Amino acid sequence: MIPALLALTAFFLIGLFSTEIADPDFWWHLKTGQYIVTQHRLPTPDPFAYTTASAPTSSDETATRRFNLTHEWLAQAAWYLVYAAGGFPAAVLWKALLLTALCGFTGFVARQRTGSWLWGIGAALAAASLSIEFAKDRPSILSYVFTAGFIAIFESRRRLWLLPVLSILWANCHGGFFLGWIVCGAYCAEALLRRSADTRRVLLISGLAVLLSGLNPNGFATFATVLRYRQSPLQSTLIEWSPADLWGSPYAFDILFYAAAAALLLSWKRVRPADWFLFAAFGAAALTAFRNEMLIGLLAPILIAAYFPWKRRLPALARVAVPVVLAAATAWGVVRGSFFQLRAAEWRYPAGAAAFLKAHNITAPLFNTYEYGGYLIWKDLPVFIDGRALSESVFQDYRTILGSPAASPARDALLARYNVGAILVNAFEYNAGTLYPLVVSLAQPGAGTWKLAYEDPQSLLFLREVPPGLSVLDPARILDHLDAECRLQISHDPDLSLCARTLGDFFLRTGDPQRARRALELYLEHPYPGDTDARRAYLELLRH
């Protein structure tokens, strides 16, 4: 019974985490892995962005740049080898297996602490409720897996010798390996406080694990580099570095965080020192950056299972209900198409524009939007900027070019300084619904320097000099594109509908009531809570 139940749980989790490849950073990770495997060296200096070499840097930024180029090299190579063996389906399953392993470690520890496989499965599923928010195809998920694995090894007290070996692997897969130091420190402190019989062994192996983690391209300077991220204007704009929201709409992190805190406080007399240390460290990390919330996701279910004071012995009916519910949930996910999405979400990326550039041998320096940089790298196109965050000065220039109003001398000067001959952009930042001012400017009748050469729902391509034989498209198509791009986004991700709200306002301001009505109608099919102004504006348009 138990082996079958564990297999069913694992199958459910693999299906749950088999989401389509949609992270824009996946593409440059994959290309970097290919570079490492085929060139047999680390990607430094930067081989992909043409702006990197000429960008001014301080000594701190030089160190940060090297770190960003090299700290995930082993994971990137592994990801590429998985892709080379089985394409996008293999890459999706690799991510799903890693996240399933994370939840499995959490469930294993919960079972160790409670003596119940059902509590262990419950803890694994609780971890999955937050893990699904971090189901990104990038090496950072390995730090969560290694953290959970370290905790599981310390809890079992078996195979402690694996920790130094895993430390070396972790330190070359992702810069978050110092989380292993925190886990080692927590269990070392507990062993000393409780005067455990194996204190000497725990201290020795933990010290060796920390020492050997320095065997990576950046050594122990990694920790200082990560601390500098907090002062980076570039990093501060990324959602993953924003603090946790404890007072908004409750979601898995809030529930797990508060429930674990309550369990610890209610059972404070019997809480182990390691649990206090880990909850304090992981809680502080999660509150300062969204990307660290998963640390609570893997720890909180263990603490809840171990300490929640009103646990009762689960009835025999639960042994029957759990597999039935898991089987039904798996079937539902498969039928809906949300499980086993063994593909890349190429609808998000400028596949057509990239093919157009290569087919017509257009090699002029390219300005691209941040979110498209990784995909263009994968397609062997030198980029202006991408998600590797290599240059603060280039990022500031990027923001000036993308965000300047019409007829901006500063923008034109920067495009000239970088000798940009092609502009490939999407129109919106979808989390905020922002319409990029550069696109608005290029849609104006006076933007004669730049000609629209290619357009599809994913992207717009403008050229300064159009090669002989290529037709220039009517600039009026830019306004049609705005509607088509926003509709494409909402059809795949209805939760991010603010582009339609922005588009409605834009067309109202520019005196196009028909387009404004259509945009607001689209938005009101998936409105944000409490947005009465949009409905009021839409009803006003209907009356006129």
Query: Does residue 319 sit in the same domain as residue 396?
Result: no
467: which 2 tokens? 């090669």
What Cα–Cα distance (Å) separates residue 260 from each residue in 114, 123, 282, 292? 15, 12, 12, 16
**pLDDT higher than threshold 70 for residue 337:** yes
Residue 30 inside a domain? The answer is yes
Q: Which of 306, 336, 366 is the last residue of a domain?
A: 336
**Mean pLDDT across 417-429:** 96
Residues 327 and 392 in one domain: no
> Quick one: 320 and 350 in the same domain?
no
Say what the pLDDT of residue 230 is: 65
Q: Which of 101, 104, 102, 111 is nearest to 305 (CA)?
A: 111
Of the residues 455, 479, 496, the one at which a domain ends: 496
Q: What is the percentage of the chain residues whose pLDDT exceeds 90? A: 74
**Residue 532: inside a domain:** no
DSSP assignment of 26-90 equals: HHHHHHHHHHHHHHSS---S-SSBTTTTTS---HHHHHHHHHHHHTTHHHHHHHHHHHHHHHHHH
- Whether residue 63 is contained in a domain is answered as yes
Model pTM? Answer: 0.94
Are 207 and 117 contained in the same domain? yes
**Whole-number mean pLDDT of the chain?**
92
**CA nearest to 27, candidates 326, 512, 377, 413:** 377
Q: What is the pLDDT of residue 223?
A: 79
Are 268 and 228 contacting, i.e. CB atoms less than 8 angstroms apart? no
- Strands 451-456 and 459-463 turn out to be antiparallel
Q: Which bin fits 115, alpha (ψ -120 to 50), beta or left (φ > 0)?
A: left
Confidence band for 542, pLDDT divided at 50, 70 and 90: confident
**What single-letter DSSP state applies at residue 175?**
G
Whether residues 157 and 74 share a domain: the answer is yes
Q: Is residue 378 domain-resident?
A: yes
Count of domains observed in the chain: 2
Same domain? 119 vs 250: yes
Looking at residue 483, which CATH number applies to its domain? 3.40.50
pLDDT for 220-273, tens place per residue? 988 788 777 766 666 666 667 677 776 666 689 999 999 999 999 999 999 999
Co-location of 109 and 53 in the same domain: yes
| 249 and 305 inside one domain | yes
Q: Is the C-alpha dihedral spanning 128, 131, 132, 136 positive or negative?
A: negative
Q: Are residues 66 and 154 in the same domain?
A: yes
- Are the CB atoms for 108 and 154 separated by under 8 Å? no
**Per-residue pLDDT tens over the stretch 282-324:** 999 999 888 899 999 999 999 999 998 876 666 667 677 888 8
Among the listed ranges 75-84, 215-224, 375-384, which one has the minimum average pLDDT value?
215-224
Q: Is residue 271 part of a domain?
A: yes
Last residue of a domain, one of 297, 313, 336: 336
Is there a domain that residue 98 lies in? yes
Query: Averaged over 156-172, what is the pLDDT?
Result: 96
Contact 130, 294 (CB under 8 A): yes
354 and 276 share one domain:
no
Structural domain includes residue 527: no
CB atoms within 10 A of CB 328: 10
Residue 6, in any domain of the structure: no
Domain ranges, residue 445: 346-496
**One domain for residues 32 and 121:** yes
Given pLDDT bands bounded at 50, 70 and 90, which one contains residue 358? very high
Same domain, 427 and 354: yes
